Amino acid sequence: MSTPQKTSGAQAGIMAVIGIAFMLGGVYASNAKSFESIEKPLAAQGIPLNLGITFATIGVFLILFKVIETFFILPLGEAIHNRTSDLERTFAEAESLRNEMASMRSEYERKLAETEADARAKIQAQISEAQQLRQTLMSEATEKADQLVARAQQEIQSEKAKVIVELRTSVVDLALSAAEKVIGENMNSDRNRKLVEDFINKVEVTK
């Protein structure tokens, strides 16, 4: 048996002995009316008191105190202690859970911010790429348009020169044919043709 248990047992034994002494003394005093000289004045003052029974009751209480402590006080204290421990553990778990939730919320907000930043960066990159593509397409379209215009101008100039040559040839032929009708001779010679062409050139320069 440990020292605290020995001490508790000794105290219980002492209290039991004292309790028995009080109980027996109280019963004896009550039967012998040993405290009658004290009880009568108190009864006259309206305080009915049987000291013998009182001492006997105290003795019974001292005897039963260990029983009350063992079956009521100690279990009640243990229950209170266990309940307090459960509450403290529950509060600690709740605080831990709250801290964990706060940490998870912070991590979620951080990841959300990173996702939004990444999304904005991707959108901006796509916009820049689209603008660059648009600029490239416009440059290519402008270049092709310029090439088409230049080619068209060349074709127009070539066609114009061709038409002018054909017109001059027709004019020379008409002039020589008219001269043949007037003169009555064949005027379609290289010399006459050159004379008409030189005349036409002088007329064009004058214009």
Radius of gyration over every alpha carbon of the chain, rounded to an integer in angstroms: 67
The larger pLDDT score, comparing residue 2 to residue 105, is at 105
**What is the predicted pLDDT for the residue at 17?**
77
How does pLDDT run across 31-87, given as a tens digit for each residue?
666 666 666 776 667 777 677 778 778 878 877 877 777 778 888 888 899 999 989
pLDDT confidence of 127, banded at 50, 70, 90? very high
The larger pLDDT score, comparing residue 6 to residue 13, is at 13
**What is the predicted pLDDT for the residue at 69?**
78
d(CA 35, CA 107) in angstroms, rounded, equals: 82
Q: Residue 138 half-sphere exposure, CB side, CA atoms within 13 Å?
A: 6
d(CA 152, CA 198) in angstroms, rounded, equals: 31
Query: Average per-residue pLDDT in the chain?
Result: 78
CB 23 within 8 A of CB 63: yes
pLDDT confidence of 191, banded at 50, 70, 90? low
3-state helix, strand, coil in the chain (%, to 5): 90, 0, 10
> In the chain, pLDDT over 90 holds for what percent of residues?
7
pLDDT confidence of 21, banded at 50, 70, 90? confident
Per-residue HEC secondary structure of the chain comes to CCHHHHHHHHHHHHHHHHHHHHHHHHHHHHHHCCCHHHHHHHHHCCCCCCHHHHHHHHHHHHHHHHHHHHHHHHHHHHHHHHHHHHHHHHHHHHHHHHHHHHHHHHHHHHHHHHHHHHHHHHHHHHHHHHHHHHHHHHHHHHHHHHHHHHHHHHHHHHHHHHHHHHHHHHHHHHHHHHHHHHHCCCCCCHHHHHHHHHHHHHHHHHC
Question: Is the confidence at residue 7, as pLDDT, over 70?
Answer: no
